[in-house]
Every structure is written in structure tokens, then in C-alpha cells.
Amino acid sequence: SLGPSSGVNIAGAIRLARDLGPGHTIVTVLCDSGQRYGSKIYDPAFLAARNLPKPQWMS
């Protein structure tokens, strides 16, 4: 699930899209803390087992 800031992001994107009208592309980014992914994407062993690259900051 995403937090309240993501909801504000979506609401702002919808409002901007309505204001601009058809023919425009609106992009927004919904971020979270990543705490639910600690056992996966932040785990070097998980990445290695799937032949995925390990970011330098994990070294």
C-alpha cells in the first residue's frame, strides 16, 4: 500500500490533467520507504540467486 503523500500526488496529477485538457501527458512518481522489500531487492543473496546486478552501495 502507499501512503497519504501518494494520494496527494495522484490527486494533483488528476487536477493538472483536467486543467490542461486532452492531448497532454502527465507523469507522477509514487514513492515508498521500501521497508517491505528488505528481504528481496535489498538482499545481495536474493539478487545473486536471480542473476540480478548488485548496486555498488551494497558492497
DSSP label at residue 5? H
- pLDDT by residue, tens only, the chain of 59 residues: 678 888 999 999 999 999 999 999 999 998 877 777 777 888 889 999 999 999 888 87
Look at residue 1 in the predicted model and tell me its pLDDT.
Answer: 67
Quick check: 46 and 39 in contact, CB under 8 A? yes
Q: What are the tens digits of pLDDT across the range 44-57?
A: 899 999 999 998 88
| Cα gap 58→39, rounded to integer Å | 14
Three-state secondary structure call for residue 45: helix
For residue 26, give the nearest of 15, 34, 36, 41 by alpha carbon.
15
Look at residue 52 in the predicted model and tell me its pLDDT.
Answer: 93
Look at residue 6 in the predicted model and tell me its pLDDT.
Answer: 87
